[in-house]
Amino acid sequence: MISTTPLAEYLVKAGERLPQEANRVLEALVNEGSMNKEDLSLLSRVKRAVLDHVIMQLYALGLVDVSTEGKSKICSLTKLGQEYLALVEEAKEAG
């Protein structure tokens, strides 16, 4: 028999495996909205080389979207990313 994990539980567990920098990136996107990687690096206090790895992890989970505008890569929080942050907040409050 295949055991299934509810999506909410999966997302919280996956988030626990992300580096600390991922939380700072998500917080910056929530507080400031979509922005290019340079601004995101400065506001989240994550080195640019590390930021690229973190963004790809968040993108793979579907929490962040990356689009191109001219030469800039614009990062934005997805609807799933917003829901993920709400789940994490609920998990913190619950225990």
pLDDT digits (tens, 9 = 90+) for 3-43: 566 777 887 788 888 999 999 999 999 999 999 999 999 99
Q: Domains in the chain, ordered, with CATH?
A: 7-89 (1.10.10.10)
* Burial group, residue 12, by CB count within 10 angstroms (0-12, 13-18, 19+): middle
Q: To 5 degrees, how large is the angle CA 12–CA 64–CA 67?
A: 170
pLDDT over threshold 80, residue 89: yes
Distance CA 81, CA 95 (A): 21
Residues recorded for the chain: 95
Residue 57 pLDDT class (50, 70, 90 cuts): very high
Q: What is the pTM of this model?
A: 0.85
Look at residue 4 in the predicted model and tell me its pLDDT. Answer: 66
Cα 14 from chain centroid (whole Å): 11
Per DSSP, 46 falls in state: -
Mean pLDDT of the chain: 89
